[in-house]
Structures are given as C-alpha cells and as structure tokens.
C-alpha cells in the first residue's frame, strides 16, 4: 500500500487504538457522529458538563477569548486544563467556553483518511463543525478562539488557511505569552527538562502549521532560579515515550515540561518523571503557589 493510501494512524502504528475508539466508520460517518454527538469518540455531553462543573470552571464577564478545550482534554488531562484556566485568572484574561455544545475538530476523520477524497471529506466536515463553534464565539463578541488541544489547533489553522475566516485561531499558550510580555518570574531551584515534542502528527494534519515554538521556549528563560535542559525534539512520545523519559533521566531532571497536553499525558503515564504543561509551571511562577507534582501521578 502506498504511503498516500495509508491513514495517519496506520503510518504511525496506532491504528488498532483508533479502531477501538471509532470502529470502521469512514470519514463522512465520523463527521456525522461528531455532528450528532459533539464527538466521534462517544456520546459524552452530560459527562463533560459534570466534569467541567466538578473542576469549578466558570466563564468570565466580557470575555476576550473563547477557549476551545477539545472534546477529550477535560477527560484525559483535567488538572492541566484546570491549571490553564487558573493561570488565565492570575493574568486577568477574561474567557468563555462551551460547556455543553463544543464540537470536535473532526480529528478522527483525519486520522482515518486515506487518499484525497477522504481528506476533502474530512476538511468539509471539520469546516462545518468549526463554524458551529465559531458561531458562539461571534455571539459572545470575543477576539479569537483559542485551542487547548494541539491537534485541534493544527486543524483549525489548516481550515483558516484553506477556507479563510473572520477569526484566526490561536494556540492556548499564545495569549499567555502575550500577556506575560517577557516579565521576570521566579521559582525555587530545580532542573527542568523541556520537551517541545516532535509535533509530527500536527504537521501531517497541517503541513503549513505555524506555531511559536521559540516564543513558548522563551517563557522558560524568564523564570529565575531554575535550570532548563532541552530534550531532543526529534523524539516522538507516540512512537516511543520511553526514549523521551530516558533522555530526561540521563540529564537528572526533576520534571519534564512540555507545551502540548498530549505529550504531557503520555510522559506522565510512565510514572517515572513528573510531567507538566508549560502553563502549569508558569502558573506556579506567577501565583507563587505550589501546584503539586503529585497531581501528575
């Protein structure tokens, strides 16, 4: 089978996991399920609302941004998501989110797409789902939609470049970086392994992906009291998470910090080195309150 005829999940060796979640549905059927149930993964609307309420998340008056959490992120990294909103509160960034009606980015359709026709179907479905989310953003009068999920951001930017929109997507760390403005922060001494991640899947979803890796890394340099060790960017946490953790262990780091919630989740699953989102460590530096590494175990 030619590379172009294999899906992303087939090329990267996690097709079995994708099939266990989505069965044998084609991209069009996956889009229809997302349209009907918000996410192709499961019918989860009320469980999502229960979890968001349990985290104590509340929208702010006169929001500047609509935060698109992602259909899975409230379930697999709830503490990282909570800390992100806590950081926005600390920085005085007003936000809204879609408690009940946030639609999936259509990622499952892209992961299972084979050939041009499937990719075009995935784009068409994703555009429709995006517009249903952005309709809420426009009604709220926010500046932009900001994506906590890296895959969701890659797809949103892909659609923006292909179809255009009155609302350019932002990645979740963009508004944090802008509000901090390079101001000096302070933490107690520790050695941090910074793992940018390869973002291989995101670049396959959006070959023209533009993301401010240098700006996110620069936030670490504003934090006094810490030593930052850069871990190899070519290591892929989906292909071999052990290699990422072993590289960190060789450097003697106290924790691993990454700008991607998916990377943070996978590093944490090995339970060998504490793993944090970049927004977690910035929250600790801004608030001077320990977030507790035990939250990652």
Convert the pLDDT of each residue in 68-101 to its tens digit. 999 889 888 999 999 999 999 999 999 999 988 8
- Alpha carbon dihedral 258, 263, 269, 275, in 10-degree steps, equals 0
Q: Model's pTM, two decimal places?
A: 0.91
Instruction: Tell which wins on pLDDT, 38 or 126.
Output: 126
Q: Which of 129, 162, 177 is the last residue of a domain?
A: 177
pLDDT at 106: 92
Sign, CA dihedral 59-63-35-238, equals: negative
How do residues 175-202 score in pLDDT, each as one tens digit?
Answer: 999 999 988 899 999 999 999 999 999 9
**At 297, is the pLDDT very low, low, confident or very high (cuts 50, 70, 90)?**
very low
Same domain, 169 and 194: no
Segment (H or E) for 54: helix 45-55
Residues 191, 120, single domain; the answer is: no
Does residue 229 carry a pLDDT above 90? yes
More confident: 209 or 108: 209
278-287 and 78-91 helices cross at what angle (nearest 10)? Answer: 40
Are 246 and 137 found together in one domain?
no
In terms of domains, do 142 and 30 share one? yes
43 and 186 part of one domain: no
The parent domain of residue 237 ranges over 180-296
Residue 158 backbone phi and psi in degrees, to 5: -55, -45
Least confident segment among 44-58, 94-108, 224-238, 261-275? 44-58
Tell me: pLDDT of 33 over 70.
yes
Residues 8 and 80 reside in one and the same domain: yes
Compute the distance between CA of residue 35 and CA of residue 21 in angstroms, rounded to an integer.
17
């Amino acid at each position: 089978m030619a590379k172009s005829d294999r899906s992303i999940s087939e090329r990267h060796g996690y097709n079995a996991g994708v099939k266990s979640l989505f069965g044998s549905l084609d991209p069009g059927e996956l889009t229809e399920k997302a349209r009907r149930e918000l996410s192709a993964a499961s019918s989860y609307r009320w469980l999502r609302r229960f979890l968001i309420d349990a985290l104590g998340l509340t929208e702010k008056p006169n929001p500047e941004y609509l935060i698109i959490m992602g259909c899975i992120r409230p379930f697999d990294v709830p503490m990282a998501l909570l800390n992100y909103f806590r950081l926005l509160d600390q920085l005085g960034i007003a936000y809204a989110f879609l408690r009940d009606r946030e639609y999936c980015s259509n990622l499952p359709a892209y992961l299972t797409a084979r050939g041009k026709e499937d990719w075009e179907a995935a784009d068409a479905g994703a555009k429709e789902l995006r517009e249903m989310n952005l309709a809420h953003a426009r009604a709220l009068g926010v500046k932009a939609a900001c994506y906590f999920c890296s895959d969701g951001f890659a797809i949103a930017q892909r659609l923006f470049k292909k179809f255009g929109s009155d609302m350019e997507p932002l990645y979740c760390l963009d508004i944090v970086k802008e509000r901090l403005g390079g101001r000096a922060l302070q933490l107690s001494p520790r050695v941090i392994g910074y793992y940018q991640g390869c973002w291989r899947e995101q670049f396959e979803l959006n070959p023209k992906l533009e993301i401010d890796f240098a700006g996110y890394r620069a936030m670490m340099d504003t934090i006094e009291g810490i030593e930052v060790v850069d871990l190899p960017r070519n290591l892929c946490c989906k292909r071999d998470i052990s290699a990422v953790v072993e590289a960190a262990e060789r450097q003697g780091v106290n924790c691993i910090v990454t700008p991607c919630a998916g990377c943070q989740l996978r590093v944490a699953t090995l339970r060998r080195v504490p793993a944090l989102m970049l927004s977690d460590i910035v929250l600790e530096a801004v608030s001077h309150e320990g977030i507790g590494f035990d939250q990652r175990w």
